[in-house]
Amino acid sequence: MKHLFIQGKEKNGLTLLLLHGTGGTEQDLLPIAEMVAPEANVLSVRGNVSENGMPRFFRRLAEGVFDEEDLIFRTNELNEFVNEQANVYGFDRSNVIAIGYSNGANIAASMLFHHKDSLKGAILYHAMVPRRGISLPELKDVSVFIGAGEQDPMIPAEQTKELAELLRQAGANVEEFWQTGGHQLTRDEVVESKKWLETYLT
Ligand code: MLT
């Protein structure tokens, strides 16, 4: 997959897996990584799917309606890719935290839904429930920050709460941060997620 890797202060320390929103690239979340954990390694990936030229991490049938088969295939593909890159760049596969926005947050959530040890934690900015009706793996050692907008036109508040609840039921430690805005990522969310990361995972 098209990607970039930036080595942090300690190769064996934390690695941030950056996953952009629809139409983004592997460059988009670099300033966020710099704010949240400036010393971490960064593996930033570009989605392998193109929707009218806009990179995404999996296909969708309509806005908010996912192509489930492709979602599963792409989730496995991304997880395998991270496994391989840990060997290529020599980072610690068990110390990876995803930071995803929108479509990127959705595939990060899907990694948690499908693969037990895929992520140590995740910062999900404006994520949806990736799949329903499946049992999640045990996530008791996983911490998740969810940033959400009360007025997000794409993600009703109930859906964010459903996502948080599904992750909690699987054992994850989940923190929700709500702001009054919409789908856009806000500075407040980034600041809160940095505090969260410092408290729970370092
Ligand atoms: C998705 O398809 O993942 C969501 O609708 C969010 C987005 O448009 O990126």
- 165 within 8 A of 175, measured Cβ to Cβ: no
Whole-number Å distance, alpha carbon 36 to ligand 1 midpoint, is 23
Query: What's the distance, CA 95 to chain centroid?
Result: 14
Q: Does the pLDDT of residue 155 top 80, yes or no?
A: yes
Q: Does the pLDDT of residue 162 top 90, yes or no?
A: yes
Ligand 1 atom having least distance to the Cα of 56:
9
Per the structure, the complete domain to which residue 95 belongs is given by 3-201
Q: Which of 102, 110, 143, 193 is catalytic?
A: 102
CATH of the domain at 152: 3.40.50.1820
Known catalytic residue at 183: yes
Strands, E assignment, the chain: 3-6, 15-19, 41-45, 49-51, 54-56, 60-62, 65-66, 96-101, 121-125, 143-149, 173-179
What percentage of residues in the chain have a pLDDT greater than 90?
96
The mean pLDDT value of the chain amounts to 97
**pLDDT tens per residue across span 29-82:** 999 999 999 999 999 999 999 999 999 999 999 988 999 999 999 999 999 999
Q: Which of 28, 126, 143, 152 is catalytic?
A: 152
6 forms beta bridges with 42
Substitution candidate for ligand 1 out of 59, 103, 152 with most atoms within 8 A of CB:
103
- For residue 11, the model assigns a pLDDT of 85
Six token digits for residue 76: 């496995």
Q: How many domains does the chain have?
A: 1
